[in-house]
A and B are shown apart, each in its own frame.
Chain A
Amino acid sequence: MTTQKREYKRDVIIEVSTNLLFPLILLFGLYVMIGTGGTGGGFQGGTILASAFILYITVFGHEKGREKMPESVNAFFKSFGLFLYNGAGWICVLFSLATIQWLNMPAFWPVTDFVGVAGSRSFLVGYMVSVGIGLTVMASFVSQYFDLAWKEEEEMGGNEE
């Protein structure tokens, strides 16, 4: 673990408890995001995942937060979530699977014989759609927080070029 010079004083309790809580919040967020059969859904799970990153950025600062969530990964997640959701819809439109009710038609699906129509439909609705929503929501919130924190840091003169 690299030690960085900071203008503010380090608080051991906050940093250690954040390090402990960070993976647990991520796990809970994943549980809410993927467990669409029972608990939550994409929006709620994505918000919880974003809250974990926001906690981390708040405690450790902008630069260490960037190491956890690089800008390239953030941009990829942001657009990939929407791509997943719309891709599920396009699959259903193309194969008339009618999962998203984008078409209300009887099911036809090339892998029906192997997967079973009900299985593939619940897989699409439960995982592809929810994970897509969750990724977009998480990356959007984290990116907004990064942008706002950036400005504050700039005003304080901490990151001048």
Chain B
Amino acid sequence: MKPLTIVGLLTSILLLAVAFYAEEDLPAFGDENSAVNKAIKLFTIDADANLVAALNAGTLPEEIKNKIYDLGFIKGPTCEGCQNENYPTLEEGNYKIEYIEEGTWLGGRLYTVGGWDVLINNGEIFYDEPQQYYFITESDGKLSVSRYNWPVRVTERTEEETAMINAVTSGLADYRGYDTMGEETVILTGALGVILLMRRRGKL
């Protein structure tokens, strides 16, 4: 056996071991804390029997609605005749509330905590089916309201999660790191291709 073969075998075994080691730490598919499924907590209010009863009956109480509006998620179209772009309204009939029990799989996500899912259908211009927008859980006499949305996570949690001031850099190099790795490799491969094609006759 050649020495090179032995070195190659040892390197492969080492890489395999590293891959197994890293695989243990990978978040499971459907983990609620993975990047795609993470819901951003917006605020908490004191739980009230009336609030819980209203949620169970399928209506969003005015207190929660007003707090959501106060955070800047707009109520409706900002001008006459223009369409509401990103934040559907929470008027009656636009949404429906479903209670989801602990431990159910839904939409590629495992719910480790039970709660009320607010699905919005009317007013959402990008999707036909009802979309999950808000998630309300009850614990210790408090109702905490979270929101599923990628832009909300980027704007709210970028500095905390990546320690970068610049959200664009965190998106480029942190959240989508594999994408950037591929781009860089493409550039290097292009340069190598030019070298192989153009340097045939010349000296280095």
Contact = CB atoms under 8 A, between A and B. Distances in A.
Nearest to A151: B198
Contacts of B199: 147, 150
A143 B187 CA distance: 12
Decide if the interface of chain A is mainly helix, strand, loop or mixed: helix
Contacts of B204: 71
B169 to A, nearest CB: 5
Decide if the interface of chain B is mainly helix, strand, loop or mixed: helix
A147 B195 contact: yes
A85 B181 contact: yes
Contacts of A141: 191
A122 B166 CA distance: 10
Contact of A140 (B21, B177, B191): B191
Interface in B160-204: 162-166, 168-170, 172-178, 180-181, 183-185, 187-188, 190-191, 194-195, 198-199, 201-202, 204
Given A143-B191, A147-B198, A82 B177 contact: no
B18 interface: yes
18 contacts: A36-B169, A37-B164, A41-B168, A85-B181, A89-B181, A103-B27, A122-B163, A125-B162, A125-B164, A125-B173, A130-B173, A132-B184, A133-B184, A139-B191, A140-B191, A144-B190, A147-B194, A150-B202
Given A101-B177, A119-B163, A144-B190, 14 more contacts: A38-B165, A82-B188, A94-B22, A101-B35, A104-B34, A105-B27, A117-B163, A125-B169, A125-B174, A136-B184, A136-B187, A143-B195, A147-B198, A151-B198
Interface of B: 18, 21-22, 25-27, 33-35, 162-166, 168-170, 172-178, 180-181, 183-185, 187-188, 190-191, 194-195, 198-199, 201-202, 204
